Structure 1
């Protein structure tokens, strides 16, 4: 099998859920737009958001590696990746590339027409922004002065302030490349340097937790603060007239300091779940923006009574990799995504503006929200392990139910209210160490059925959370082992449970004491997935195989083998024709259910943890190990003609695909002509499957059926008004060149040889097609004539057949060769209807001529014999098939 570089069905589209990384954001005020733009790093790309509506405006091009540092000015956004510095215009146009560093750059500072960069080898370089030339290079000794922070004090012309790991500060003049002054420091590493609105004053954050306001001109410390909420990671000053300094910590807290009273004004605990990477206050506005490596970007407004800030807008994704994804609406636009950070998110595949966070799982939502310390709350629930939903009654009550790792309690969520529900579903008489292992919400949305590790199966009401009974007897649980899967049909008549005891049990929904059917399985089941519309139940077995069961007949209908690792997820497509599965071997397989064959397979860089196929069939959503986003794969069959053939998984060369990115990419398999190479040769049906079968042509019906009624067509298309000749054009006599008008009467007397007839040297009345027929010597020559005849219109065919008669310029030989051509068509068993049409019009036009000529009659007898044999063969097959269909219909 030829090597394939892409999937036959799926192609990478884009990724959802990425907002920010550990790199501080860049804020740029665009005067022409009248808006501040925020640029955040998301790995190899950076996003640009507008502050007015906090929506995504653009995505940059791909960098050679992850972005490690960012900065910006009024004209460019500067990013660092793999020792190179890139300058971007309008968020997506690459303008400049600055090279010269031999190690990663971790500090950037635009400085007028220059760009200052410092790498990890303690080398400072200054580049000219326009011509990309290197103007200055300074090498610092890391043992004496390891640069950790940089700042340009306002009103200090051509000067920058450098902070070091040793605690010293140095003031440099970059124009003369001279050291102006050295500050003794405080004996501990300098983390942040931020210029204050007051002249000569800067704020210095030390590793020891102190924040010092220092006067540079006098080299005196004005006062200092002690930060008790972790190390300071960023500093900023309010620029709207309020004497307030804001600090962000490595623990995710934000503290507002009153500079006049020299005390803490207010604080925001757990503003972010992880380190606050960037913090900046806006000029002349009571606004502040922060970002964090917890994948969030937040805007705060200072309007609290104590001078503090409250959350105004936010964009956030999962702080830890998501593990569950599922399409939750028939439109396929919204996804439910659960992550290891205990949160549940709604992600929209059309626009990120509609992305919402439903919060984090906790025992008491109101109390946890009031205390605002979810991360340290002992009552917080573990991450979500199972998810089920039904949106039929979403407006009335909770529509989502979830299980949590290692817990027996089940929680509910409200999709309509975008928050966690109030119900905690706990079964009665639950033993110690029992865990909830599987669940399903019924198709009506009224009940949720939960299976447990001790074999119990319980039913709860979604509206009230009241316990509604169990499946099985009191002294005998539903299964002897753990329940691995619980499903209900579309009519709420049956409940299907699969256990670790190699049994698949079918229960009536109402009478739940004993199952009405038990199916013995060959392998233990690890998870299940039911397509309620088709009634097909997919059982994922622990031996890495998948079994399909028809719940109507309670029989195994298909079995798929091929995965080499634990299967993490399976899902059906919208038409229940495909079963898509993924496992820890990093492969994604598509199985054709009617044929029971593997039709597509591809591998990815990291194993998939969950998959979900859109109800409309346009996207496949996947989550991966160690990735914070949800990746979308487009279905090629919606916009391309793709031919699917069975794949032998043992011999196929599995293509490895890159994960989709936030920016559209050109597929790797597009050639210079713009065509896409799918890796497989397009399947073409043969001209004839077997020699004993009769094959029809692919020509439209009008090309051969109209030949039989050509006279009627001509009569119908005849114009209603008679054709009138145009008026004679005026006669012009050539004139002579003179001042007076005179006619040249003798102009045409001597031209020519006295005749007006143009007679070619080789005069013949036989048409070009007739000459081609006369020259036929073998079967291949006749086939060429047949192919030419297929291209002619019905009117042209009528003219060619009519012109074969000797009365209008043809010959007996041409007619004989034409019947030989029909004889060849009938012997080949191809183009059956064309041969009959051509024979019909030929006999209609030349009946008298054939009757008068013995050679034509002999040839016609052979043609008649072949035509009769072909028709008898076709008639017998048709009558046999009609008899079989009639018998089946009567049964």
Structure 2
């Protein structure tokens, strides 16, 4: 069955300005490789760069390894044609031509009519030629690469037909050949805008492709009826003629000395013709899943590059004796929209995605070249033997999937259920292939749900008649079954198992949520939801289950109490998917009503609602909370959204159900998107809503509470043990004197002490030097100013900002001579802080350092009358200290007695 050609959006045609969501910001889209627009190959010395179109942007790969090098800036309209020219990549989009250099727009030119569209593009020498939808040929002259090209002329060929092909024949100066839908050819001079000659060799058959042969004056002409002509322009004669099945979309000559011509058609087949023997050499059927708009040999190499709207880019190599090519390397993605996505493991490196194209892919969020399709065996070779297409031999569409990375190195760790298939399949993540076990349902009905235990040892398979079979993932042996005694005929919709393999939870279309003892196999409890359950997920950290019901509601069930704790209403159509945030606080849901809603589970409020204009079919919240991944009904890629709550405060105020923000999907290039780094470094102030409540932390909740400081414990512990730390860090050896500098260079010590003699010194230097007595000044530190200022709170807050060594120095530097004013002020400040019951441990540490540093002064018997005020201050401190100790001990003993009474 041929591939049904259809127009699918890879990106919005009209890119709308992004509006901000509360929680999620568009980042970029992944999974795109190519579409129906022909690619272009650019030669850079010995390197070849292939550029493919992906909607409103393009991607450039290195042909040597097919590594992604550049992604072009997002355009407002879809790209219609590509052409490399000098150092630029020209892209036709709407009525404009954009010139890119290393993925950035350098200049642009526009047609006279904005309603006109560019269909074909070519460039050579100093000419840029564009064919518009109104059959006009626009020619620009590009003299300098630093200047914007100037319009040279516009003309319309006299033929009453559409221009379908365009080529510049080699060595034909200022000439182009135009192919028309009526089968005619015309040779035009670009400088004079005149038709030089008309060729009538293909009258009646639309020309679909033109390609230059390695021989001068010879072109390969492809027609809509499958004819391929080798035509000599100078002699106006047909040299050879071939015929293929279907419309000729593209052709290319091999240029490494082997006379081979390759052509492609709408069915995805590639035909190879031996020009020396004038016959078909071989045909590769099903090279792509659908049309091949262009194929091209690399100059001087046995390599063929092909792309197609099946979202794939392939390199074929000719290294066999029979001349049949094989795929050397490729990049591809889903060619049908993904229907099921899931993050693999405990990081956000890989996404598992399944689509209606019967494939299972592991998509890397970080490295494009690590994206792979999990192999289903030798499908291609079997298809050749059975004369069938590879798609017909692949497994059916995946309807349920589960994985665990605990035992990924030892045995299969991915389990999938397929549409109308009565057996589940295992997959190996280590080998990226289909596993060795097939796990059938014992009642012979199709599999509807699967689950892999967190330990990776068990795989559970749910049937369409309510039976759950438990298999060993390593051996594939059936271990036990659940649900035989219940006699339920409704399909199982989801299977969940807790972290320690004790409680198994199943949901079914009969609306019942059943809890099973996993070890005994007995039913523990049944909770009726009142409506059919279509899907359910388990958040293992919080022991919560989110359930989707047919009545458009979401119910949250606590596994421990087996009660419904929340009901979330707001969607107006059937829900498609849901997922918990990594911390279990939020629940993200999507629906056929086109909205993606975020719910705050502790309050049950709707805190964010967005719509993208495209229905979300699947979503997955990253295990680390960085990203939200979504798949959409008309997008073959996966959209990534940055979680803004990881980097800044987001409002969790309740929204109305109809308060929905319309946003645009992330672009392929990430243009106008917000990456994780940008979100983390964004310092713009957010607008605070009027209804938002700004919470501030009180300095002290109650006067009867004893409050500790917010400083790290190491800060005051270091202060108390400062002498021990200094002794431990003391140098073991005396410092060595630095080596003397040469006699003509002064040492740093001499320069610092001012002992360097200068040649221009005069006898008046002694008179200019200040006297020693006049240079001595009294220095007042910030510590002393605040201590004498009388503001105890300001002094203590400043003291908290000092490092331990600086604090120790300041306390030791207090004036230790009569009248001991600074001693008294310091003790009173500490007493006042202790009496206010704040910073308890810091006050104790500061007083310990004070007493230890000045105990010789406080305990000396000299001039006791001058120390009377200091001793009175210490006595006041001692009274407050004893009172606080007594109060705290009473409270501790009371609490201890109450706890002892409760234990007995």
Q: TM-score, normalised by structure 1?
A: 0.80
Which residue in the other structure is 1:53 paired with? 65
2:536 counterpart residue number: 528
Look up the SS of the partner of 1:802 in the other structure. coil
Instruction: Answer whether contact 1:207 1:232 (CA < 8 A) is retained.
Output: yes
Does 2:165 align with 1:149? yes
Q: Out of 637, 642, 648, which is 2:654 matched to? A: 648
2:394 and 2:892 map into 1 onto residues whose CA distance is 72
Distance 1:465 1:296, change over 3 A: same
Report what 2:31 is aligned to: 17
CA contact (8 A) 1:170 1:182 kept: yes
Contact 1:578 1:593 in 2 (8 A): yes
Contact 1:38 1:48 in 2 (8 A): yes
Query: 2:332 aligns to what?
Result: 316
Please show how residues 39-78 of structure 1 align to structure 2 within 5 Å: 39-73=51-85, 75-78=87-90
> Which residue of the partner structure matches residue 513 of structure 2?
504
Compared CA separation, residues 79 and 881, structure 1 to 2 (3 A) = farther
Give the deviation of 1:646 after TM superposition: 4.4
Deviation at 1:339?
0.8
Aligned counterpart, 2:107: 96
CA RMSD of aligned residues (A): 4.9
Aligned-partner Cα distance in 1 for 2:765–2:375: 102
Per the normalisation by structure 2, the TM-score is 0.79
| Superposed displacement of residue 17, structure 1 | 2.0
User: Quick check: 1:373 aligned with 2:388?
Assistant: yes
Contact 2:818 2:866 survives alignment (8 Å): no
Distance 2:728 2:414 in 1: 67
Distance in 2 (CA, whole Å) between partners of 1:298 and 1:866 is: 83
Aligned to 1:110: 123
How far the C-alpha of 1:205 sits from its partner, in A, is 2.2
2:742 alignment counterpart: none
Structure 1: how far apart are the matches of 2:469 and 2:401? Answer: 16
Partner of residue 740, structure 1: none
Distance (whole Å) between structure 1 residues aligned to residue 52 and residue 342 of structure 2: 27
Shift of 1:294: 0.5
> For 2:717 and 2:455, how far apart are their aligned partners in 1?
56
Provide, for residues 618-649 of structure 1, a one-character-per-residue CA deviation record: whole Å limited to 9, x for no partner. 55443233222234455667xx6545774424
Matches within 5 A, 1:681-692: 685-692=697-704
8 Å Cα contact 2:74-2:671 kept in structure 1: no
Say if 2:126 and 2:141, in contact at 8 Å, map to a contact too: yes
Which residue of the partner structure matches residue 243 of structure 2?
A: 226
* Kept after mapping to 2: 8 A contact 1:149/1:190: yes
Once residues 395 and 672 of structure 1 are traced to their aligned partners in structure 2, the CA distance between those partners, rounded to angstroms, is 36
Matches of 1:87 and 1:730, distance apart in 2: 66
Give 1:295 deviation, angstroms: 0.3
- Report 1:217-366 matches (<5 A): 217-228=234-245, 230-304=246-320, 306-329=322-345, 333-358=349-374
Deviation at 1:685, TM superposition (A): 3.1
What secondary structure is seen at the aligned counterpart in 2 of 1:240?
coil
Alpha-carbon spacing, 1:147–1:644, altered in 2? closer, same or farther (3 Å): closer
- Does the 8 Å CA contact 1:361/1:380 hold for their aligned counterparts? no
CA shift in 2, pair 1:734/1:162, >3 Å: closer
Distance verdict in 2 for CA 1:201–1:596, change over 3 Å: same
Structure 1 SS opposite 2:79: coil
Q: Deviations over 1:816-860 (max 9, x none)?
A: 776775565456543344555667748976799997799999988
SS of 2:683's equivalent in the other structure is coil
1:479-532 deviation per Cα after TM superposition (whole angstroms, max 9, x unaligned): 3533222234455555322123232223345765x6243233355422122356
Structure 1, gaps ≥5 residues long: 738-742
Distance apart, 1:767 and its partner CA: 8.5
Distance (whole Å) between structure 2 residues aligned to residue 56 and residue 620 of structure 1: 23
- Would you say the 8 A contact 1:547–1:556 is kept in 2? no
Q: What is the CA–CA distance in structure 2 between the aligned matches of 1:567 and 1:73, rounded to whole Å?
A: 49
2:449 aligned partner? 438
State the alpha-carbon separation in 2 of the partners of residues 111 and 734 from structure 1.
73
1:215 aligns with 2:224: no
Matched, 1:627 2:639: no
Q: 1:561 aligns with which of 554, 568, 589?
A: 568
Give the equivalent residue in structure 2 for 1:452: 463
User: Within 1, Cα distance between the matches of 2:440 and 2:807?
Assistant: 79
Question: Which residue matches 1:37?
Answer: 49
With over 3 angstroms needed to count, the CA separation of the structure-2 counterparts of 1:264 and 1:751, relative to structure 1, is closer
- 2:92 corresponds to: 80
1:545-624 correspondence to structure 2 within 5 Å: 545-551=553-559, 553=560, 555-556=562-563, 558-559=565-566, 561=568, 564=571, 566-572=574-580, 580-584=588-592, 604=612, 606-615=614-623, 619-624=627-632
Aligned-partner SS, 1:194: strand
Distance change (3 Å), C-alpha of 1:348 and 1:470? same
Aligned-partner Cα distance in 2 for 1:376–1:791: 69
Supply the distance in 2 between the matched residues of 1:72 and 1:833 (Cα, whole angstroms): 72
Q: Which residue of 2 aligns with 1:384?
A: 398
Structure 2 CA distance for aligned equivalents of residues 199 and 858 of structure 1:
112
| Distance apart, 1:321 and its partner CA | 1.0
**2: CA distance, partners of 1:652 / 1:857:** 72
Cα deviation 1:529-586 (Å, max 9, x = unaligned): 23567755443334455444454x4523743626525443344566667655444455
Distance 1:366 1:782, change over 3 A: same
Q: Secondary structure at the match of 1:697?
A: coil
Where does structure 2 lack aligned partners over 5 or more consecutive residues?
1-17, 689-693, 736-748
The Cα offsets for residues 345-367 of structure 1, whole Å up to 9 and x where unpaired, read as 222344233332235799x9975
- Structure 2 Cα separation of the partners of residues 715 and 464 of structure 1: 64
